[in-house]
């Protein structure tokens, strides 16, 4: 993965552990951390919630901002 400005990049690899169509995606990152994404219908919209295990290298605020950026980009693409 890389930032759009090319300032930061890293390898990102994992294995899906659960997929429920239109409901949930879970995966295990190769370093052992888990991620769970849920899709909750709210009227004509869908709430996307992502829960992830923090890693021990970067501050939690930086990690949360990075994951939020991914969700923001997903939202942009999904709404086009």
Report the side by side order of strands in the sheet with 45-52. 14-20, 24-29, 34-42, 45-52
**Whole-angstrom distance, CA of residue 19 vs CA of residue 25:** 5
Give per-residue pLDDT as tens, 25-65.
999 999 999 999 999 999 999 999 999 999 999 899 999 99
* For the chain, domain boundaries: 14-79
Residues 29-66, buried b or exposed e (16+ Cβ, 10 A)? eeeeeebebeeeeeeeeeeeeeebeeeeeeeeeeeeee
CATH for 14-79 is 3.30.530.20
**pTM (2 d.p.):** 0.79
């Amino acid at each position: 993965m890389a930032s759009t400005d090319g300032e930061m990049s890293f390898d990102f690899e994992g294995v899906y552990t659960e997929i429920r169509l239109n409901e949930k995606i879970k995966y295990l990152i190769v370093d052992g951390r888990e991620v769970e994404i849920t899709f909750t219908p709210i009227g004509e919209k869908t709430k996307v919630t992502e829960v992830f295990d923090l890693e021990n290298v970067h501050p939690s605020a930086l990690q949360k901002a990075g994951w939020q950026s991914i969700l923001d980009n997903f939202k942009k693409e999904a709404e086009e």
